[in-house]
Amino acid sequence: MTVRTKRLSAVTAEPSNNSCPHLETLIVSSCSSSKATVNSGSLVSSPAVRSQPVLNVLQKKHNSSVTDKRHSVKWLDAMKAQSPPRFHSLHGDTPESYDIEAAKYAAWMKKHPSALSIFKEVMVEAKAKQVVVFLDYDGTLSPIVEDPDQAYMPNDMRVIVKEVATYFPTAIISGRARPKVYEFVQLAELYYAGSHGMDIMGPANGTNGFKAKGTQMKDKMGNDVVLFQPASEYLPLMDEVCKILSESSKGIRGARVEHNRFCVTMHFRCVKEESWGPLAEKVESVLKDYPTLCLTHGRKVLEIRPAIAWDKGKAVDFLLSSLGLSDCRDVFPVYIGDDQTDEDAFKVLNGLNHGCSILVTSVPKETKASFSLRDPCEVMGFLHHLVIWKEQDLEVHTGMGMVHHP
């Protein structure tokens, strides 16, 4: 089994699935600033990005209701596409329908084999390379639940992630606000990229010997850390949008707004499907007054975020570079995620010579990931295998060293 090696441009901005249809010009001009930031590869805010007049640009109004309607329909489609029916309910609950869905999943698995069942083949490429582990949070380390505040990570997952971090530089890359992810994970030895990579913090001196470049500071607990926030100027704007969105969605039962610091998330998991369209329209109508922001989508969420060319893929690139690990011949990044926003990271991994991109899903999905895992339970299994693999590797090397080089 060979790990996918397809070359893609990791740094130059390719249009993402999560595009902002009415903001192309702004995105293109933001791209060059972000590109410079990525190349600098250090955990300090880029003056190029900071100097963008993001808050003062023309607040563009849209007069065309036809365009607005088309956008809302587009987002309604996205909402439906991101919410595949449960496995058993696709064609009813009969044994035949179950067989049909099982066959579809089996066919999909041929293209995206289980990273757990072919672990050894996957890791052949990692031999003698520095493995770096990137983990999404919701749906990857914690099961999806209705209440976002209750998305706890099981303790045995925490134990295994901690072990992983003792052997490999490890980062959590989440759409959540960074402090919130930290509250759930509670491991100081990891790097955390919150708000889809727009808020990166990590230990100044990694436990496994890696040091992220950048300006050091102290976190709330007094630890030495490094920080990178490419969209820091957007904070007041995000606060404003969060308030407006909370107000405008009050009439839609089940809708819930979460302030994720550099993004604002509109949850519709508890909204009846007939209200998804009106909700998408409300989000769109708030967004149209903020031309420096854009809309993306995830698992039963719509998200408003700064329209800068920065995403989870850029965060991966940035962290690798900042840790001095961007020479892809010696590095084997592993990225595990379950959501649409993780596709940007899969794309970056596919652009490297070696790497392992894994989508967590129990239903067939269009993805750029090479491999799959069914659920957080399997993620835990995979991480466990990774630890054992490293321990065996260390053991073999010590043993062989003694035999062949006395």
Ligand X SMILES: O=P(O)(O)OC[C@H]1O[C@H](O[C@H]2O[C@H](CO)[C@@H](O)[C@H](O)[C@H]2O)[C@H](O)[C@@H](O)[C@@H]1O
Of all residues in this chain, which one has the CB nearest to ligand X in the complex?
175
Scan for tokens 């991966």, then name that residue: 316
User: Per-residue x/- mask for ligand X, residues 41 to 80, rule CB under 6 A?
Assistant: ----------------------------------------
Rank residues 138 and 163 by Cβ distance to ligand X and give the closer one.
138
Rank residues 52 and 174 by Cβ distance to ligand X and give the closer one.
174
- The one segment of 121-129, 146-154, 239-247, 274-282 that binds ligand X by CB under 6 A: 146-154
User: Looking only at residues 205 through 234 of this chain, which bind ligand X when binding is defined by CB under 6 A?
Assistant: none
Q: How far is the CB of 174 from ligand X (least distance, A)?
A: 3
Rank residues 71 and 267 by Cβ distance to ligand X and give the closer one.
267
Residue 104 near ligand X by CB under 6 A: no
Q: How far is the CB of 79 from ligand X (least distance, A)?
A: 11
Residue 174 near ligand X by CB under 6 A: yes
By CB under 6 A, name the one of 81, 106, 124, 145 that touches ligand X. 145
Rank residues 165 and 257 by Cβ distance to ligand X and give the closer one.
257
Q: How far is the CB of 185 from ligand X (least distance, A)?
A: 10
Please count the CA atoms within 13 angstroms of the CA of 101 that sit on its side-chain side. 18
By CB under 6 A, name the one of 75, 137, 184, 371 that touches ligand X. 137
- Asked if 214 and 228 touch (Cβ cutoff 8 Å), the reply is yes
Q: How far is the CB of 144 from ligand X (least distance, A)?
A: 4
Strands 199-203 and 191-194 come out as: antiparallel
List 77, 136, 199, 327, catalytic entry: 136
Residue 192 near ligand X by CB under 6 A: no
Residues 6+ apart with CB under 8 A from 288: 22, 60, 61, 62, 68
Rank residues 301 and 331 by Cβ distance to ligand X and give the closer one.
301
Residue 290 near ligand X by CB under 6 A: no
Residue 267 near ligand X by CB under 6 A: yes
Residue 265 near ligand X by CB under 6 A: yes
- Tell me the angle at which helices 276-287 and 65-81 cross, rounded to the nearest 10 degrees: 130
Residue 358 near ligand X by CB under 6 A: no
Q: How far is the CB of 229 from ligand X (least distance, A)?
A: 17
Residue 139 near ligand X by CB under 6 A: yes
By CB under 6 A, name the one of 151, 160, 319, 345 that touches ligand X. 151
- The one segment of 26-34, 85-93, 173-181, 280-288 that binds ligand X by CB under 6 A: 173-181
By CB under 6 A, name the one of 269, 374, 384, 385 that touches ligand X. 269
- The one segment of 14-22, 35-43, 64-72, 135-143 that binds ligand X by CB under 6 A: 135-143
Q: Tell me the number of residues near ligand X by CB under 6 A.
A: 24
How many C-beta atoms surround the C-beta of residue 211 within 10 A? 15
Residue 300 near ligand X by CB under 6 A: yes
- Tell me the angle at which helices 155-167 and 376-404 cross, rounded to the nearest 10 degrees: 30
- The one segment of 46-54, 239-247, 279-287, 299-307 that binds ligand X by CB under 6 A: 299-307
Distance CA 164, CA 390 (A): 9
Query: How long, in residues, is the chain?
Result: 406
Establish whether 136 is a catalytic residue.
yes
Q: How far is the CB of 269 from ligand X (least distance, A)?
A: 4
Residues identified as active-site: 136
- Residues in contact with ligand X by the rule CB under 6 A: 136-139, 144-146, 148, 151, 174-176, 258, 260, 265, 267, 269, 298-301, 303, 339, 341
